Amino acid sequence: MENENTVSALDQIKEKSAAGFVVHESGLSAEITEEERSMVGEIKGEKGVYFFDPNTMAPRYASIMVNLEEKNYLALAAETIRNDSRTYPRTTPLALFSESSFSFTQETVEIILRSFQDKPGFEDIEKCGASNGAMHLFSKKYLDPAQAEYLCEWDEVGRAENQ
Amino acid sequence: MAIQGGWAGKILRVNLTEGKISHEDTEKYKNYIGGMGFGYKVIWDEVLAGTKAYDEANKIVFGVGPLTGSGALCSGRTNITSLLASNPFHGVSDSHMGGHFAVELKYAGYNGIIIEGKSERPVWLRIEDDDVSIEDASLYWGHGTFKTITGVTAVMGGDSQVAAIGQAGENMVNLSVIRTGPSHSAGGHGGVMGSKNLKAIGVKGTGAVHINMENMEWYNLNKFTMSIIGANNQHVVPRTPQPWAEHDHPGSRWTAKKDLYWEKADPPIETGICTPEQTNKVGYRTMKAMLDLGANGPKYTVRMGGCASCPIRCHSHVNVPQLKNYGADPNVANTCMGFFGPFSVMFKGVNIEGEHKDDATVIARALGSHVADEYGVWCNYGQLSRDLKWTYERGILRRVIPAAEYNSIRWDLLKKGDPGFFEDFYRRIAMKEGELSRLGEGAYWIDRHWNLGEEYWTDKNNKLWTKIGYPVHHANESNGQVGALISSMFNRDAQCHTHQNFLGSGLPTKLQQDVAEELWGDRNAIDEPANYRPMSRGKARFEKWSIVRNVLHDSLTLCNWMWPLALSPLKERNYRGDTALEEKYFTAVTGEEMSEEELDLAAERIFTLHRALTVKQMGTVNMREEHDRLTGWQFDMDPDKEAFTAGTIKLDRDDFEKGLTMLYEEMGWDPQTGAPTRETLEKLQLKYVADELETLDLLPA
């Protein structure tokens, strides 16, 4: 018989999501039921399945959290850059990765930049720079380099001058 | 129909020449809603064409509207209408201020104040409900806005609101403001008050604004509005990735996040993550100091402030003890260009010994804001500092300023990056000291005096939009032709944020295009930023809607830095807002049934009256050639790029002409000249305007 004090898997997922975290399947202290499973979001990572409450956490943010949990920083950075270029479109400030929720170390950021240059599969990712010295990244698959250059300068300098 | 709710019953008229105070019924002006509409109606009826801004015959109208003071969200703005001295032909123009002056005026029972004539001596106007008097202002004359506001408040009581000019206004500096509260300025008309020897207006009201809706219905309307409201500028996504948000955008003013504090509050207050559902935390969403004052802004932030009836707190209130070193009060409040405009006077950078560069930035922005506000100098949306830089760097100032004066200017402070330069610079501008002070006359006039040449106008970096002498303000960088054409329609920088708020919402372009199709029947109204396509009918409709809503807001009065709420932060609404909300509030408050389209038509009437006023004042129907003409850099920038290619906001000359024609057609104006036609004027119940223009031979053929 189930312990009355056991918190249901659904409640655990809700609580974690409300606090901004996803839950790995191994982190649940109660078995998740099929009914509960239909009420939550799940993402299959390289190290298993992660759950989140779609009422308090957007799938995109959950994806960020899964990549962070799995320390899959390179893929996360690439996914973020491509999503920004494709969806909005906009360039991605390199500084973004040093801020929460990413909170990459400087060393990690440097490894990512080198990997974009050296590793296969990231040929679409390019750098661009603004007049204030800031570096941005974009995917040339989705964003024209000239447009990226403008958007980078606008984000770093132009917007503040045109309030 | 007799007035039921919303509007106060009367308008206050003050003749300073005769010292006469009278009241007028609002009914006469109701077709023009309020605020800006009242102002244009008064100027059309009562100020003759050819009158100059500082002539005794000019009038200045402080207008509020039916929603002001009703409690409708973001309804605390005052619209000020008069002729504008920085404009070459002294065209009619508006300046606006937030704060609490507007609602106090309504509580005192007035929809507006018409100031006419000229006092023989400095005076201030005291309004306490029906008790209105003209008071001696000799005690305040010669002093800045802070001392004046403090002084008048001491007389009237802490529950009063005061609008005042500084020395710049007294001396009829064209670029001068009227200021109220700790941080709210209306730029452009301070000199008109000065020309009338009117130093300040103090107002205290004990009445109320009546609302024609049942309490629970009113509660629910406001509750709904709170559910779809975003952050400052109606940005509807957070600035950083957050659990609740499907979208985020680094340009968003929804800056609240974990570990971001009002650090100088006691105790410090964390803005934290603010979800759309947490409507009791809307006031935390916009932590503007991190934008207004840079990276160390939060360190000095006591709180965020704002206007009456507005849950969005977009004014940064900071305490910067280092300001005492410059003899200034350490407590400063302002927002956006109120910080950036003065700060950019230090165009050689800021360097303060012993201070980190981020602290030096805070000190300089706060000090610049304080000094400019004290003297009551307007930045002309940043153009004043650009004019200083442009003329300094090209040796023009050395050429035109007498040597003794030139050598007395504290260029040493400017070069060192010492913000002590602000005091020297702004004093000279405000007191009209010497030749340098001509910078305070505005772009058109300094070119007239100093013969700056065509390069002054065509230099992209100088940002001058038309030869009327105002700069870019959400122009071609805002959806190409859309911002460009909107920016060409007014007699000063277009203070239109309808289009800018929509485009800057933070939502993906494709989603914005979906909404554009719903609102303007054409998803091509919206382009990707810096990847523009040629002019389209959808863009023309978007332009018209943006202008009309801007005018509507300045008449109701609602804040166009927030309204319209076309988009929302709610995914369950697919991010749609509600463009009918203005009508719902109007009907709720006034009790008068009016559809969204009818209310837009009323605003169209007001804007067409603005155009007619411009035609009359300029004495020409040829608005296309004489008024709407750009300076040229917009077509010649980025010489290595073609217009309508990715990566440039360059415009095309033929396309711009086509755009003008399409916008004129949307407005019902003559497609050749851009002047209002009789047919359109009559459709808008402006037959009397058509008749007068006809007698002046100012109707298009």
Q: Which residue has the tokens 């800031």?
A: A134
- Determine the pLDDT at residue B9: 85
Residues (pLDDT < 70) of chain B are: 1-3
- Determine the pLDDT at residue B1: 44
For residue A124, count CB atoms less than 10 angstroms from its CB and return exposed for 0-12, middle for 13-18, buried for 19 or more. middle
Whether residue B42 lies inside any domain: the answer is yes
String of DSSP letters for B276-342: TT-GGGHHHH--THHHHS-TTGGGGEEEEE--TT-S---EEEEE-GGGGGGT--SEEEE-THHHHHH
Task: Write B611-614 long-range contacts (CB < 8 A, 24+).
Answer: B611/B489, B611/B667, B611/B669, B611/B674, B611/B675, B611/B676, B612/B44, B612/B676, B612/B681, B612/B686, B612/B689, B612/B693, B613/B40, B613/B43, B613/B44, B613/B91, B613/B92, B614/B91, B614/B92, B614/B491
| Cα–Cα distance measured from residue B594 to residue B580, given in angstroms and rounded to the nearest whole number | 11
Q: Name every chain A residue with its beta carbon within 8 A of the beta carbon of B529.
A: 89-90, 147, 150-151, 154
Whether residue A36 lies inside any domain: the answer is yes
Answer whether A145 sits within 8 Å of B647, measured CB to CB. yes
Query: Could you tell me if B277 and B285 are in contact, meaning their C-beta atoms sit under 8 angstroms apart?
Result: no
Q: What is the DSSP letter of B676?
A: B
- Is residue A86 located within the same domain as residue A42? no
- Is residue A76 located within the same domain as residue A152? yes
* Helix H or strand E encompassing B14: strand B10-15
| Cα–Cα distance measured from residue A37 to residue B510, given in angstroms and rounded to the nearest whole number | 32
- Determine the pLDDT at residue B3: 54
For B459, the token pair is: 């230099």
String of DSSP letters for B558-602: --TTT----B-S-GGGTTB--TTHHHHHHHHHH-----HHHHHHH
Backbone angles phi, psi at B10, to 5 degrees: -140, 165
CA distance B658 to chain A (A): 25
User: Into how many domains does chain B fold?
Assistant: 2
Backbone angles phi, psi at A69, to 5 degrees: -60, -40
String of DSSP letters for B458-490: H-GGG-EEETTTEE-SS-TTTTTHHHHHHTTSS
Q: How many CB atoms lie within 10 A of CB B587?
A: 20
| Cα–Cα distance measured from residue B614 to residue B489, given in angstroms and rounded to the nearest whole number | 10
Name the residue range of residue B140's domain: 10-204
Q: Name every chain B residue with its beta carbon within 8 A of the beta carbon of A145.
A: 647
- Determine the pLDDT at residue B501: 97
- Determine the pLDDT at residue A6: 84
Whether residue B355 lies inside any domain: the answer is no
Last residue of a domain, one of B181, B204, B227: B204
Whether residue B679 lies inside any domain: the answer is yes
- Is residue A94 located within the same domain as residue A30? no
Q: Any CB–CB contact under 8 A between A149 and chain B?
A: yes
| Cα–Cα distance measured from residue B276 to residue B669, given in angstroms and rounded to the nearest whole number | 42
Q: Name every chain A residue with its beta carbon within 8 A of the beta carbon of B648.
A: 146, 150
Name the residue range of residue A109's domain: 72-161
Last residue of a domain, one of B204, B238, B263: B204
Last residue of a domain, one of B182, B204, B226: B204
- Is residue A77 located within the same domain as residue A145? yes
Whether residue B480 lies inside any domain: the answer is no
Q: Name every chain A residue with its beta carbon within 8 A of the beta carbon of B386.
A: none
- Is residue A157 located within the same domain as residue A123? yes
Using CA coordinates, name the residue in chain B closest to A91: B250
- Is residue A84 located within the same domain as residue A49? no
Whether residue B409 lies inside any domain: the answer is no
* Helix H or strand E encompassing B428: helix B421-430
User: Into how many domains does chain A fold?
Assistant: 2
Interface probe, candidates B240, B260, B274, chain A, greatest A C-beta count within 10 A = B240
The 10s digit of each residue's pLDDT in B401-413 is 999 999 999 999 9
Answer whether B291 sits within 8 Å of A58, measured CB to CB. no
- Is residue A61 located within the same domain as residue A110? no
Indicate which CATH number applies to the domain containing B175. Answer: 3.60.9.10
Whether residue B360 lies inside any domain: the answer is no
Q: What is the DSSP letter of A158?
A: I
- Is residue A154 located within the same domain as residue A79? yes
Whether the per-residue pLDDT at A163 is higher than 80: the answer is: no
| Cα–Cα distance measured from residue B317 to residue B334, given in angstroms and rounded to the nearest whole number | 7
- Is residue A140 located within the same domain as residue A88? yes
* Helix H or strand E encompassing B551: helix B537-556
Whether residue A2 lies inside any domain: the answer is no
Using CA coordinates, name the residue in chain A closest to B646: A147
- Is residue A97 located within the same domain as residue A144? yes
String of DSSP letters for B102-132: HHHHHHTTEEEEEEES--SS-EEEEEETTEE
The 10s digit of each residue's pLDDT in B634-690 is 999 999 999 999 999 999 999 999 999 999 999 999 999 999 999 999 999 999 999
Whether residue B305 lies inside any domain: the answer is no
- Is residue A28 located within the same domain as residue A77? no
| Cα–Cα distance measured from residue A99 to residue A108, given in angstroms and rounded to the nearest whole number | 13
Whether residue A4 lies inside any domain: the answer is no
- Determine the pLDDT at residue A162: 80
Whether residue B67 lies inside any domain: the answer is yes
- Is residue A29 located within the same domain as residue A46? yes
Backbone angles phi, psi at B128, to 5 degrees: -130, 95
Q: What is the DSSP letter of B18?
A: T
Answer whether A150 sits within 8 Å of B530, measured CB to CB. yes
For A48, the token pair is: 């298993």
